[in-house]
Amino acid sequence: MNLSPVISVIFSVSLLSVFTGCSSGVDAAGGATIRSMTLGRSASLGPAPIEATGFEPLGTLTLFKAGNEIYGREPWVLDGTPDGTMMLRNIGPGAFGSSPGVANDVGFTVLGNHAYFAANDWVNGIELWRTDGTTEGAELFAEFVPGPDGIWYISDAAVAGNKMFLTVRSQVDVPIHTWVIEDHGLEP
């Protein structure tokens, strides 16, 4: 009897709005299974998301960016179950959405129990947000430039030990600054 664990890998994603199931899968090397995951339409979320990009694991969850005609691009989360795939938070109300990661294309960067990302709430402009994978835990983390203009972009986010390094530029004619975020809950 082979007791080796079976690893499931999501191969392709067809988005419509809410997870409805997986195909039977294709066997791959090392006992892995590659499956096509289908996300179904939800009346409460409106039309199907345009695309899903930027998949990033956070504990037992997976964060990604997706959008549709009503909410625009927003952060989404899935746990692999039909009821566990949803928009994380409607940060930027309206059809433009918050465009998580678009201003920087860094997407989500995980430090400790949180994922950090740039988003635009249309009040503070593009700023640094974080989430613990829950709607309640998705919050504005740092406002580098007070007011609606926000920052120009965030790039080059990287984690080393209990620190995250990122580059922030507030305006075209302002120097680029490197910032360090330290998670005191992690051992150095």
Tell me the two tokens of residue 179: 């910032």
d(CA 49, CA 39): 9
Report whether pLDDT(157) > 80: yes
pTM for the structure as a whole? 0.75
Give the pLDDT confidence score for residue 82 in this predicted structure. Answer: 66
Give the pLDDT confidence score for residue 43 in this predicted structure. Answer: 42
Question: For the chain, which residues make up each domain, given as ranges?
Answer: 50-182
Q: What is the mean pLDDT of residues 16-23?
A: 40
Give the pLDDT confidence score for residue 19 in this predicted structure. Answer: 39
Q: What is the mean pLDDT of residues 70-86?
A: 83
Give the pLDDT confidence score for residue 46 in this predicted structure. Answer: 55
Give the pLDDT confidence score for residue 10 in this predicted structure. Answer: 32
Residue among 136, 173, 180, 123 nearest 152 (CA):
173
Give the pLDDT confidence score for residue 7 in this predicted structure. Answer: 28
Question: Is residue 179 very low, low, confident or very high in pLDDT (cuts 50, 70, 90)?
Answer: confident
Query: Sheet holding 177-182: strands in order across?
Result: 153-160, 163-169, 177-182
Strand ranges inside the chain, DSSP E: 7-14, 18-22, 26-27, 32-40, 52-58, 61-68, 72-78, 85-87, 109-111, 114-120, 126-131, 139-142, 153-160, 163-169, 177-182
Q: What is the mean pLDDT of residues 171-176?
A: 67
Residue of higher predicted confidence among 76 and 175: 76
Range name among 22-31, 65-74, 125-134 with the lowest pLDDT average: 22-31
Distances in whole angstroms, Cα of residue 115 to Cα of each of 16, 32, 47:
24, 27, 27
Location of structure tokens 């918050």:
98
